[in-house]
Amino acid sequence: MLILFTSTSRMLSLIIITGLLALASSRPYGTEAINRELLLSINKDLLRSLESQEGLPNPSVHLALRLSNYHNLAKEGEHLNRLKNDLHTYIQSSLTNSQPVTGVLALYGLALKSSCYDLNTITFTVNDKSETLLTHLKKQMEQEKEHIAFSHRPLTNYYQYSLGVLALCVSGIRVNNHVSHKLIKAVEHEHFQHGDAESVDTYAMAGMALQCVKDSGSYVNSAAELDTALSKIKQKLLASRRIDGHIGNEFSTGLAVQALVAMGSEVAEYAASMEAMRTAFRSNIYRNPMANSQMLPALHMKSYLSVKSKECLNEDDTLVLEPTDPVVVLPRETKVKVMVEVVTSSGATVLYSVDVPKGSSLLEALELLKEKNVGFTFEKESSLWGPFLSAVNGEQARQSDRRYWHLASDDTALTQGVNDFKIEGAQKITIKNTIY
């Protein structure tokens, strides 16, 4: 009887399990379907951002849309034209005025290549001489390299330097060995600092750049030192993983996962990080198009290195944007007190107080404080991440001086910009002129 009972139980269990598996496979919202819906949602958010964006068109957003598996080719085409007009004009002006544009020029090239555009047809004119985008990028990289030689740091920073290496390499241009060597040495000597912390974003971009150089076989100095640099980058990224899966912080995880994908890491090494990004997106952490643009390729298990083999053939063109209901902004009656502390480059400190509606952005809070006419003033500039503070109380923090305004809430550094960080309760905001 015992044997009969056991056999019957096994048969019954088998029937139940088979039924459950059949039910699971028939459900439209299994894990794979849920993740697909999330990818589509991110894709649509990026497309909508093209309609509402202020300032210059963002090449990083275009790059993400092109690396996605889902497309709205008409809207992508419209954005490509904006890049070729508005962004091209901005870069031309910067080159004419001898301003370093390594990062944006590299991103522009990557964005164009992601649309399979012939980069040899894109030119800029300086001193009455017309040369291609890639020629100008090579010249920018030579200037960056020379700046490292005599000042031990790039003209811009190692993030932009890495982007330059990546864009040249992905476009099939042989990267000067001296240029690659400078990046390898920067990894070796751990020069990727931002303030007091190491820059996960820079390690990630350097990882993609050096992986491309390795794959191209163009680096002839020492294969061993290139491999050592790549191993160190991977080690740094994995060592930066938090308990919740994010690498560095929520806004550096996308690039970090892209780098791990590009460097051929096992899926198990970044699976938790991908889930952390999904969770953060569902929690509305990623409101910034730039953040979404770095995350979307990673969730597709792609990287900027994927542009190298991109073919614009037989692409899915079924992505449709549904009409959205107009957003009704209700009056915010609850106010919270915000203390704003400004610390100048000399260390002098001044403290202000302002009451702001709960849910205001930090930028709105600073505008209200400025309107109080208590001596607080600020200026802002635009960037691909949104507006950032360039001057506070008449004092500038310029990239050319390797300075920036460091933002903190109750002594915790902000990971969001002034337009993204929301004031949800009473707190002290510290704005400090900081060197990097």
Sort 395 into a burial class: Cβ within 10 Å, 0-12 / 13-18 / 19+: middle
Q: What is the pLDDT of residue 313?
A: 93
CATH number for the region 32-309 comes to 1.50.10.20
Burial 266-292 (b: 16+ CB within 10 A, else e): eeebbeebbebbbebbeeebbebbbbb
Asked if the model's pLDDT at residue 324 lies above 90, the reply is no
Average pLDDT of 382-388? 85
Average pLDDT score, the chain = 89
Give the CA angle between residues 64, 69, 75 to the nearest 5°: 60
Average pLDDT of 195-208?
Answer: 92
- pTM summary value: 0.86
Both tokens of residue 353? 């107080």
* Structure-derived torsion over alpha carbons of residues 338, 343, 344, 350, reported in degrees to the nearest 10: 60
Residues 146-182 pLDDT 10s: 999 999 999 999 999 999 999 999 999 999 999 999 9
Average pLDDT over residues 329-343: 84
Structure-model confidence comparison of residues 29 and 136, the more confident one: 136
Q: Under a CB-based contact definition with an 8 Å cutoff, are residues 433 and 403 in contact?
A: yes
Of 59-68, 161-170, 283-292, give the lowest mean pLDDT range. Answer: 283-292
Q: What is the mean pLDDT of residues 376-389?
A: 89
325-333, long-range: CB within 8 Å, 24+ apart, which pairs? Answer: 332/357, 332/358, 332/359, 332/360, 333/357
How much is the average pLDDT of 207-228?
Answer: 93
Q: How confident is the model at residue 328 (pLDDT cuts 50, 70, 90)?
A: low
Q: Which two tokens stand for residue 316?
A: 């899915």
CA distance 77 to 212: 27
- Consecutive H or E run containing 409: strand 403-409
Determine the pLDDT at residue 1. 31
Class of domain 335-435: mainly beta
User: What tokens were used for 174?
Assistant: 């042989």
Q: What percent of the chain has pLDDT over 70?
A: 90
pLDDT band at 23 (very low <50, low <70, confident <90, very high): very low
> Is 211's pLDDT higher than 90?
yes
Across the range 120-144, mean pLDDT stands at: 96
pLDDT of residue 332: 66
Domain chopping of the chain, boundaries: 32-309, 335-435
3-state secondary structure of 428: strand
Please tell me the distance from the alpha carbon of residue 98 to that of residue 117, in angstroms, as a whole number: 26
